[in-house]
Chains A and B, each alone.
Chain A
Amino acid sequence: MKKLTFKSENISKLYNRKIIFEKISFLLNEGTAFAVTGKNGSGKSTLVKILCGVLTPTKGLIEFTVDGKLVPYPDYYPHIGLVSPYLNLYEEFSAEENLSFIMKVRSLGSESVQRAEMLLHEFGIYDHRKKEVKYYSSGMKQRLKYCAALLHEPSVLVLDEPSSNLDQYGIEAVRKFMKIQKQNGILIFATNDKDDLEFADTVYSVENGKR
């Protein structure tokens, strides 16, 4: 297992001079699950985007190390997998084509083909793999997002509302992979679902701080 540290130091975000959140600090190591909670509009999704490197914080510092080497912020993309409602895959492509595109741009080896098939099976969309994503239901799209996020075996898996749009089968598949991620890397998720929160070692409320 890789040695990982993920540190957030006093990060704050302002939009048009309005404070979304401020001074959020935490330190995570491999083998931990970190949950972010908070009311709607409290900035959970903004925090998730900042942690993934797709938004930059107004103030504060984020440090991510893999085996003691500092990964330059915000270029975390080789190490991070994100699943969220605002993240979409290409609807004009099939599930297979989407995953194949991801494999190519991430320069993943041939073993990722088997991993893609395994993930499609695990999330129950293998039989629909040749269908264009625009014909998928919202639940199937959510399952495909998990396949895409897990394809490169990320060191850090970030989930925004992990069980949204999913039926019981999908939720079970997600929880299985959340458990695996917690053992092998770092799991960060934003949720208000009590069942999801049971996975967390630390729960951080955006409004009130650590619990």
Chain B
Amino acid sequence: MTFITSYHIFIKEFVSEFRTRYALNALLMFVVTTLSIILFSIGKESPTQDILSGTLWIVIFFSAMSGLSRTFVAEEERGTSMTLRLLVNSSSVYIGKLFYNFILILVLSVIIGISYLLFIKEFTVKSFDIFWMTIFLGSAGLASASTILAAIIAKANTKGTLFPVLAFPILLPLLLTCINATKLSTEGAFMSEAVKEFQILISFTVVMVATSFLVFDFVWKD
């Protein structure tokens, strides 16, 4: 495996995405739709910061589910996965696609975070360092789990429905930790108070990446 090969796969993914808009349009529309629904459903009510922290991560989770599987599903549907298998080793493919998914979900989470802060007046963040750190580490965790899951479900017949169903139990600890860390950011906690949450998020990502790296060859080849 060479990182240069992974880098070329990463660049290929971006160029391909900007030309085909396989995931990007769907993701952005999903964000707009879900945020509108939340805004309408809140109406004149004043939900607590706990509830709003939860809905933020629900939007991020389902947006990720609607777009992150595309990286492998599109290869299978277009019949290019075998081409890729004949060109490079599986580790390079995994690293390239993992970084692509990470950047995609990070950009998306930042857009969701900014939109949330702008449009939902009741959502007030007091510790922006904790908030943005949670967005960053949460995105890394989401990308680490969804990349291997996308590779698995790309070979199944019921791709669309299988992805969130499989992802939910795996991502539950990550989502709960992200919600807790977001709550801390709305309470004005110090960075040192959120260290435990960040440690869980980092550990989750490291474990997911290491496990995925070991099993990806089996998933990708047969």
Within 8 Å of chain A (Cβ to Cβ): is B5? yes
Chain A interface size range: 20 to 34
Contact between A92 and B9, CB atoms less than 8 A apart? no
Q: Mark B34-46, 1 if CB is under 8 A from A, else 0.
A: 0000000000000
Within 8 Å of chain B (Cβ to Cβ): is A23? no
* Residues from chain B with Cβ under 8 Å of A89 in the complex: 80, 83
Q: Are A105 and B9 also in contact (CB < 8 A) when A56-B221, A74-B221 are? A: yes
Closest to A88 in B: B79
Within 8 Å of chain B (Cβ to Cβ): is A190? no
Taken together as a complex, chains A and B put the C-alpha atoms of A55 and B155 apart, in Å, by 14
Q: Which of B79, B86, B88 contacts A80 (CB 8 A)?
A: B86
Within 8 Å of chain A (Cβ to Cβ): is B182? no
**B interface: dominant SS:** helix
Q: Mark A41-67, 1 if CB is under 8 A from B, else 0.
A: 000000001001011100000000000
Contact between B86 and A77, CB atoms less than 8 A apart? yes
Q: Which residue of B5, B8, B86, B221 has the most chain A CB atoms within 10 A of its CB atom?
A: B86
Top 8 A-B residue pairs of the complex, sorted by shortest distance between their CB atoms: A88-B79, A92-B19, A104-B8, A105-B88, A105-B8, A105-B5, A54-B85, A92-B20
Contact between B20 and A77, CB atoms less than 8 A apart? no
Give residues of chain A (77-135) contacting chain B, Cβ–Cβ below 8 Å. 77, 80, 82, 86-93, 101-102, 104-107
Contact between B221 and A102, CB atoms less than 8 A apart? no
The chain B residues found within 8 Å of chain A, CB to CB, are 2, 4-5, 8-9, 12, 15-16, 19-20, 78-80, 82-83, 85-89, 92, 221-222
Q: Are A90 and B80 also in contact (CB < 8 A) when A54-B221, A77-B85 are? A: yes
A103 to chain B, nearest CB (A): 9
Contact between A87 and B79, CB atoms less than 8 A apart? yes
Q: Which of A49, A74, A86, A105 contacts B87 (CB 8 A)?
A: A105
* Residues from chain A with Cβ under 8 Å of B89 in the complex: 75, 77
Taken together as a complex, chains A and B put the C-alpha atoms of A105 and B13 apart, in Å, by 13
Taken together as a complex, chains A and B put the C-alpha atoms of A97 and B25 apart, in Å, by 24
Q: A77-B85, A102-B87 are in contact. List 15 more A-B contacts (CB 8 A).
A: A49-B82, A54-B86, A56-B221, A74-B221, A77-B88, A80-B86, A86-B79, A86-B82, A87-B86, A88-B80, A93-B16, A93-B19, A101-B12, A105-B5, A107-B4
* Residues from chain B with Cβ under 8 Å of A80 in the complex: 86
Residue contacts A-B, CB under 8 angstroms, 8 given: A54-B85, A54-B221, A55-B222, A77-B85, A88-B78, A90-B80, A104-B4, A105-B88
Closest to A56 in B: B222
